[in-house]
């Protein structure tokens, strides 16, 4: 893996965050070269011990969402710590003055307070609902109807999906907004107040696919379709050796490839006369999905996975095997082109990790470790605020600033690094 270019090199972002959305925004910026300084209370914030955990007890979650950032521990709930944080966020320089946070309640940072210190500040804030009330992906997803659409057709209760999709999408949306605001500030000199609620983001998400419009015009919720893809043909099949594959015929070419490899063209030609359907039409493929699946199922059931794989690949059918996460990890670790590799994460040891998926002029960036909590406190305070070693020492003595060497770290039991 080559070290990539750094298009956001020089941009400094102060991140006061927890959980997925805001940290993933900072991660995206860091992976494009920004200097992202994550600020946590000494000892770590509410996500410091979030599962999954490594054998050492350190959080694999935290270590993967904070790769390549610098870490500063500041007790920003104290008045002095808050001043320090505001000073960091509003430090001078054309590429500084960017704050990303998802703080809630009385410790929330106000745009007006930042603006007073730096009128062209860019402040990006992620919240649950747009009235400031909290929410997490798992509650928001319930509110926007997705769990009632997910799962086997016969299911009577909601099925949560495990992927915190709205969190990840919120993070990237805010990362995009921050870069847009930096561009805007370069051009106009103006800062920006950027706010995004998970709830608004999720509602527009289901809106953008036409799901809101569909329910509004029909007055009905779409019934569950199990593993069938909506509006075309796509479903899972079991092979003779009990492996599973997901097969999709969304376009005409994909439908032709699937019929040809399974030698069912004549069957479907005859069948569509009986059905009064045009199976070249994606809607008719969807309407008759159960029949199509029933015709195709024996072909898969009669062949083991190796044969299915070889034949589908040669025929250019659109498909994938279902893998469990252990298989995904095993494959990724063994395949250099996956971009994943084991790195040495302080407090954890060898950790399978990923880098930036985007290729910029054909170059990706591989995984890098996350910092130890508080690791860069002295470095950042000296560099950004010009504090002396003595001043930093006083802040530490009074517990305003933590460090990896004095306040412990949720990333396992670590040797002192500063």
Residue positions annotated with a catalytic role: 167
Only segment of 196-204, 263-271, 303-311, 409-417 that touches a copy of itself (CB under 8 A): 196-204
- CB-nearer residue toward a copy of itself: 7 or 298: 7
Min CB(21)–a copy of itself separation in Å: 12
Binding of residue 276 to a copy of itself (CB under 8 A): no
- CB-nearer residue toward a copy of itself: 82 or 193: 193
- φ/ψ of 129, rounded to 5, equals -115, 160
Binding of residue 176 to a copy of itself (CB under 8 A): yes
- CB-nearer residue toward a copy of itself: 83 or 214: 214
Min CB(374)–a copy of itself separation in Å: 20
Which positions ≥6 away from 5 have C-beta within 8 Å? Answer: 33, 360, 361, 363
Binding of residue 55 to a copy of itself (CB under 8 A): yes
Binding residues for a copy of itself restricted to 123-142, rule: CB under 8 A: 130-131, 134-136, 138-142
- Label residue 344 left, alpha or beta by phi (over 0 means left) and psi (-120 to 50 means alpha): beta
Binding residues for a copy of itself restricted to 212-241, rule: CB under 8 A: 212-222, 225-227, 229-232, 234, 236, 238
Binding of residue 279 to a copy of itself (CB under 8 A): no
Q: List the one residue from 80, 120, 195, 383 that touches a copy of itself (CB under 8 A).
A: 195
**Cβ atoms < 10 Å from Cβ of 265:** 12
Binding of residue 59 to a copy of itself (CB under 8 A): yes
Residues 35, 390: Cα–Cα separation, whole Å: 25
Binding of residue 368 to a copy of itself (CB under 8 A): no
- CB-nearer residue toward a copy of itself: 179 or 381: 179
> Tokens 């079991």 sit at which residue?
238
Q: List the one residue from 211, 233, 255, 268 that touches a copy of itself (CB under 8 A).
A: 211
Nearest to 267 by CA among 240, 298, 243, 244: 298
The pattern of x and - marking residues 285 through 304 that bind a copy of itself according to CB under 8 A reads -x------------------
Residues 354, 367: Cα–Cα separation, whole Å: 5
Residues 145, 212: Cα–Cα separation, whole Å: 10
CA distances for 82 relative to 30, 100, 107, 231, 374, angstroms:
24, 15, 9, 52, 16
Binding of residue 246 to a copy of itself (CB under 8 A): yes
Cβ proximity of 382 and 389 under 8 Å: yes
Pairing of strands 98-101, 122-127: parallel
Binding of residue 382 to a copy of itself (CB under 8 A): no
Binding of residue 144 to a copy of itself (CB under 8 A): yes
- CB-nearer residue toward a copy of itself: 3 or 320: 320
Which positions ≥6 away from 170 have C-beta within 8 Å? Answer: 21, 25, 126, 196, 198, 201
Question: Hey, which residues does 351 pair with through a beta bridge?
Answer: 343
Min CB(59)–a copy of itself separation in Å: 7
Crossing angle for the helix pair 389-397 and 377-385, nearest 10 degrees? 130
């Amino acid at each position: 893996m080559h070290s990539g270019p750094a298009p956001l090199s020089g941009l400094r972002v102060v991140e006061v965050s927890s959980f997925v959305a805001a940290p993933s925004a900072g991660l995206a910026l860091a992976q494009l070269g920004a200097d992202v300084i994550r600020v946590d209370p000494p000892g770590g914030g509410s996500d410091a011990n979030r599962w999954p955990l490594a054998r050492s007890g350190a959080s694999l979650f935290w270590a993967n969402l904070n790769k390549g950032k610098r870490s500063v521990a500041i007790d920003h709930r104290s008045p002095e710590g808050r001043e320090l944080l505001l000073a960091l966020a509003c430090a001078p320089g054309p590429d500084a003055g960017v704050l990303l946070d998802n703080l809630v309640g009385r410790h929330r940072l106000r745009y007006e307070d930042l603006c007073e210190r730096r009128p062209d500040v860019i402040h990006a804030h992620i919240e649950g609902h747009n009235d400031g009330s909290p929410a997490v992906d798992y509650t928001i997803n319930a509110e926007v109807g997705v769990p009632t659409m997910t799962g086997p057709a016969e299911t009577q209760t909601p099925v949560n999906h495990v992927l915190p999709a709205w969190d990840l999408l919120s993070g990237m949306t805010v990362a995009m907004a921050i870069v847009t605001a930096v561009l805007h500030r370069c051009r106009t000199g103006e800062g920006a107040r950027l706010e995004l609620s998970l709830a608004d983001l999720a509602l527009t998400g289901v809106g953008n696919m036409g799901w809101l419009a569909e329910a509004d015009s029909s007055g009905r919720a779409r019934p569950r379709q199990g593993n069938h893809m909506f509006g075309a043909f796509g479903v899972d099949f079991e092979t003779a050796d009990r492996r599973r594959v997901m097969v999709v015929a969304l376009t005409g070419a994909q439908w032709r490839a699937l019929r040809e490899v399974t030698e069912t063209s004549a069957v479907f030609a005859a069948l569509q006369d009986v059905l009064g359907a045009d199976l070249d039409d994606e809607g008719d493929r969807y309407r008759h999905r159960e029949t199509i699946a029933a015709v195709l199922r024996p072909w898969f059931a009669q062949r083991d996975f190796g044969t299915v794989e070889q034949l589908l690949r040669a025929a250019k059918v659109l498909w994938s095997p279902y893998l469990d996460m252990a298989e995904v990890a095993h494959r990724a670790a063994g395949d250099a082109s996956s971009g994943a590799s084991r790195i040495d994460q302080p407090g954890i040891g060898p950790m399978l990790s990923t880098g930036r998926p985007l290729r910029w002029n054909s170059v990706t960036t591989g995984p890098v470790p996350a910092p130890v909590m508080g690791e860069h406190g002295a470095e950042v305070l000296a560099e950004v605020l010009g504090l002396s070693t003595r001043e930093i020492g006083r802040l530490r003595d009074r517990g305003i600033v933590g460090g990896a060497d004095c306040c412990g770290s949720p990333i396992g039991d670590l040797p002192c690094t500063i």
